[in-house]
A = this chain, B = another copy of it.
């Protein structure tokens, strides 16, 4: 059989969620998983075990594959350069991916492209930080330039001392630090854009992302009450980044929406980039004609991209972060009983406090209702008791 082969580095839920799309399109998915019980290993047949830093494993993974891609950014850039030199179709390529791996490289390049970003500076020393704090109201956000995710490697500080431990780590060979102004944003938005090697680019509707403690909690698609000018700027920014950086596959651009000093429509500032399917796009599985997972596979194979139109007026995704249940599937019956239209997505991961274990998508015409339903479903999966009555009409009487 001559089915196209897509190789993916990383066996987490992002690779797991590529499986249904690969199945539908008749593509062969091959995922390098960290362990045989990884989220993706449970649902992908061709799942060799190996670390993302294991060059030999990645070379084997890519053998005969039509494209090599990633479900996380932690693949050594030098390794990618060697793979590309060896003729492997790496998407996104090393030159693009470095901007999702290194925040200093990203900030520098975006500024060069004229993309709006928060005020920022690379930090060579605590004195640099002190100076920045003095210039920006005494409060700022220090970040490690490499390795952070889901709020890790990000710290709000009011003095250089509060980052002393990080400076020490950086001095001992850790990733350099940078500092950004603490943006007085009205809310966070995200734009998901797909681009393929031939150049075609498509974006999904701009969404609002609600964060709790640095981790995505809910996503509302589309962002409610979004000024058309702000929407246009968000889409333009994301598209210019995708093209300017030569990104292939799916690119998630996380944005701060900020009030315009002159009283015009809100503006946007780029917060972070991810070059892979992203939490802000999980709603697309049920809420858009083409999911981000299907689109990522199409893009890395340079297949013409799918329609990104929404299927419903509103879709809300709520993240399941941790659970008091041994296994969230124990609450499936309660969720199903309470909400026959809720679309549950569980990742098969071992329960740990605050860990991304799944999400629920709900679509409908009434945003407040959709939102409430999504949050409620996740609460049940988290272990909240259901308000189950003695006799449940959904359980029909005997003889039916």
* A positions within 8 Å CB-CB of B: 1-4, 16-17, 19-20, 22-28, 41-45, 47, 198-201, 243, 285, 289-290, 298, 303-307, 309, 311-312, 326-330, 332-333, 336-337, 340-341, 343-348, 350, 358, 394-400
Which residues of chain B have C-beta atoms less than 8 A from A336's C-beta?
298, 303-306
Identity of the chain B residue whose Cβ is nearest the Cβ of A340 in the assembled complex? B307
C-alpha gap A327/B1 in the complex (Å): 7
- A-B contacts, 8 listed (Cβ < 8 Å): A1-B350, A2-B330, A19-B19, A26-B329, A44-B45, A198-B395, A201-B400, A307-B341
Which residues of chain B have C-beta atoms less than 8 A from A200's C-beta?
394-396, 400
The answer to whether A304 and B329 touch across the interface, beta carbons within 8 angstroms, is: no
The answer to whether B2 and A304 touch across the interface, beta carbons within 8 angstroms, is: no
With A3-B327, A23-B43, A198-B395 known, 7 other A-B pairs at CB within 8 A are A2-B326, A19-B20, A24-B285, A27-B329, A290-B340, A305-B336, A309-B341
The answer to whether A305 and B340 touch across the interface, beta carbons within 8 angstroms, is: yes
Which residues of chain B have C-beta atoms less than 8 A from A309's C-beta?
341
The answer to whether B400 and A358 touch across the interface, beta carbons within 8 angstroms, is: no
Q: How close is A11's CB to chain B, nearest CB, in angstroms?
A: 12
The answer to whether A24 and B345 touch across the interface, beta carbons within 8 angstroms, is: yes
Q: Which 7 A-B pairs give the minimum distances between C-beta atoms?
A: A26-B346, A20-B20, A199-B396, A199-B400, A304-B336, A307-B341, A304-B337
The answer to whether A25 and B198 touch across the interface, beta carbons within 8 angstroms, is: no
Q: How close is A44's CB to chain B, nearest CB, in angstroms?
A: 7
With known contacts A311-B311, A336-B305, A24–B343 Cβ distance under 8 A: yes
The answer to whether B341 and A306 touch across the interface, beta carbons within 8 angstroms, is: yes
C-alpha gap A400/B345 in the complex (Å): 35
